[in-house]
Chain A
Amino acid sequence: MAGGLDLAEGFAGRGDDVYEALIRGHEGLTDEESAAMNARLVLILANQVRDPEAVIAAIRLARETARAG
């Protein structure tokens, strides 16, 4: 756990299936469309989590690891 976040593997061993579905889901989209799809996906999953604290902690971790350098 990191600030209410559960970072353990939660794909029930099917991580590669999920990753492929994610990549396939973007197939044929322009960069703008992909960005739009990602924003929607984030919102849908943020809701699915049912835990606002975890979502806020996830946003923090995502931002920290996304900064260049």
Chain B
Amino acid sequence: MGSYAAPRYEYVIPPELRGSPGARRPVVVVGAGPVGLAAAIDLAIHGIPCLVLDDNDTVSVGSRAICWAKRTLEIFDRLGVGDRMVAKGVTWQRGRVHRGDEEIYSFDLLPEGGHKMPAFINLQQYYVEEYLVERARDFPDLLELRWRNEVTGVSARGDGVVLEVATPDGSYRIEADWVLAADGANSALRRMLGLPFEGQAFEERFLIADVRMRAPFPNERLFWFRPSFHPGQSALLHRQPDDVFRIDFQLGPEADPVLERQPQRVIPRVRAVVGESTPFELEWCSVYAFRCARLERFVHGRVVFVGDSAHVVSPFGARGGNGGIQDVDNLCWKLARVVQGRAPESLVATYDGERRHGADENILNSSRTTSFMTPKTKVEHLFRDAVLDLAPRAAFARALVNAGRLSRPCTLAGHVLQTPDAAPWDGPAPGTVCPDAPILDEAGRPGWLLNRLGGDFALLVFAEDAAELAAMAARASCLGPPLVAIAPRSLQAPEGIVVLADPDGLARVRYAAEPGTTYLIRPDQHVAARFKSFDPGGIALALERAGGGVRPVRAAA
């Protein structure tokens, strides 16, 4: 591989194989892919000790995830690695869709300003993993990474799990209260527990080439149906850091995967896209077939499946890795509370319901895109071509052109933790991810609202005058969660309350807020409940519900 030198992480003989008995662990994470690493960091931030076992000793190499969505970046930011990813990544927000060589439409994934994170960045999965590994090292007392430690056995034992682990120096056993199965699409844990992984396999084959070159393609997602450079099929091009480009070529179901990845076959295809005068080098080429599948349930006793082990999608729409990071965001605060004895185990069960819903939405969208790109029957072809042929002239047809419905967070509305609105109103309804907005902090420095929410429950309140805010603060003090107030800068802040200014008025608009409007925010930055005016009784009930049905313990004053 040309542009990237993969780190090697040192294998160390585990203490269990040096004679010291291993203690039972609250949480063991199996798999140090993006999902397992993010989970371990999130748990460490919550103060939960965590052991990560990975069968390998490096990052993921080859052509894997590149597109990381805004919501994922917000989660990475909460985990302390968002800025680094954005700094290295290629930021983009526009996609262009072509029919033949002509553009039929383009879309903008983030048409408004005032958000910290961009719509998308492209960043090779190996960088994402490398940065997560480095971040994990910030928690030496809580987070232990063990490389070349392969899990080869799993069994339930009472209220815990026993894992069998193989290393170059032999095998050992380890007990855990909870195990996160983050061991990827071919999950060994899934297989060992005998869990069926059902879904839809697509016959179509795709060539995925990562190519290094200096080329003037824009920082945009470029998609073609039947371009002249790749007749009859579709193609997709993305710019990545280090002058690397990802080009996906649809090959048809008949293509020979071994033959098609030979450089002598790949080079002319790439040459057709980039032209005669642009020199390039192949970094990686692989031929893939994709499937969409998920486990029937994600929580099996004390083993919780996250990421690709729980669900896989075809990559058009970038919903695989992004969906997995959202699993982590949803699960870790719940698991932390259960481990700390602050919530009943049933809180973890809500991860199952909420994220199965997310996985279903991701599977639905990515399978629809794959079907649109690869019509199978004559009539599917007819409709697909009709849509493409009408698209230049009819806006309704452009809406049907499906070249990828890119990853967006799902809504958790209707799931048990959320308290529905008494009557519908604008702004983020319960179950929605909190919108970001620019703020000025206590010292008048510019910052971002999302950086002030998350990690724990919070009450986001909007106030116009000091007396009103002081009254809310007094009544909120017995509820538990800290108050984060959006209020005019001139306002004298009551003691112990974070008061943020809304310099452009965007927070007020995005939250459809009036003075007194209160949002109860979950630790994963989703709205749990909201109130048009400050209502301590309603908030207390909503908080109990969002925390898994336990009455929050009033902190001793």
Contacts and interface: CB of A to CB of B under 8 A. Distances in A.
A26 B396 contact: no
Nearest to A37: B379
B378 A7 contact: no
Interface residues of B, number: 23
B394 interface: yes
Contacts of A34: 377-379
B380 interface: yes
A52 to B, nearest CB: 20
Given A8-B396, A9-B395, A31 B383 contact: no
B368 interface: yes
B405 interface: yes
Given A23-B383, A65-B390, A15 B399 contact: yes
Given A8-B395, A9-B396, A26 B389 contact: no
A11 B396 contact: yes
Contacts of A49: none
B395 A66 contact: no
A11 B389 contact: no
B389 A66 contact: yes
B389 A19 contact: no
Contacts of B383: 19, 22-23
A69 B398 CA distance: 21
Contacts of A38: 379
Nearest to A34: B379
B26 to A, nearest CB: 42
Contact of B402 (A11, A19, A31, A65): A19
Given A9-B399, A11-B399, A16-B402, A61 B378 contact: no
Given A26-B377, A34-B379, A16 B389 contact: no
Given A9-B399, A26-B377, A20 B368 contact: yes
Given A23-B383, A31-B378, A15 B393 contact: no
A11 B397 CA distance: 10
Contacts of B399: 9, 11, 15
B178 interface: no
Contact of B372 (A7, A19, A61): A19
B195 interface: no
Contacts of B386: 65-66
Interface in B50-104: none
Contact of A2 (B372, B393, B405): B393
A38 B383 CA distance: 10
B405 A7 contact: no
Nearest to A64: B393
A61 B379 contact: no
Given A16-B402, A16-B405, A7 B379 contact: no
B371 A7 contact: no
A62 B393 CA distance: 11
A26 to B, nearest CB: 5
Given A11-B399, A23-B380, A31-B378, A16 B394 contact: no
B17 interface: no
A29 interface: yes
B371 A23 contact: yes
Contacts of B389: 65-66
Nearest to B397: A7
A19 B395 CA distance: 15
B58 to A, nearest CB: 39
Contacts of B377: 26, 34
A19 B379 CA distance: 12
A4 B469 CA distance: 56
Contacts of B379: 23, 26, 29, 31, 34, 38
B402 A7 contact: no
Contacts of B193: none
B400 A7 contact: no
Given A9-B395, A26-B379, A19 B390 contact: no
Contacts of A66: 386, 389
Contacts of B387: 19
Contacts of A19: 368, 372, 383, 387, 400, 402
A20 B368 CA distance: 7
A22 B371 CA distance: 13
Contacts of A62: 390
Given A16-B402, A61-B390, 17 more contacts: A7-B393, A9-B399, A11-B399, A11-B400, A16-B365, A19-B372, A22-B383, A23-B379, A23-B380, A26-B379, A29-B379, A31-B378, A65-B386, A65-B389, A65-B390, A65-B393, A66-B389
Closest 7 CB pairs of A and B: A7-B394, A34-B379, A9-B399, A15-B399, A26-B379, A65-B389, A9-B396
Interface of A: 2, 7-11, 15-16, 18-20, 22-23, 26, 29, 31, 34, 38, 61-62, 65-66
11 contacts: A2-B393, A9-B399, A11-B399, A15-B399, A19-B400, A22-B383, A23-B371, A23-B383, A61-B393, A65-B386, A65-B393
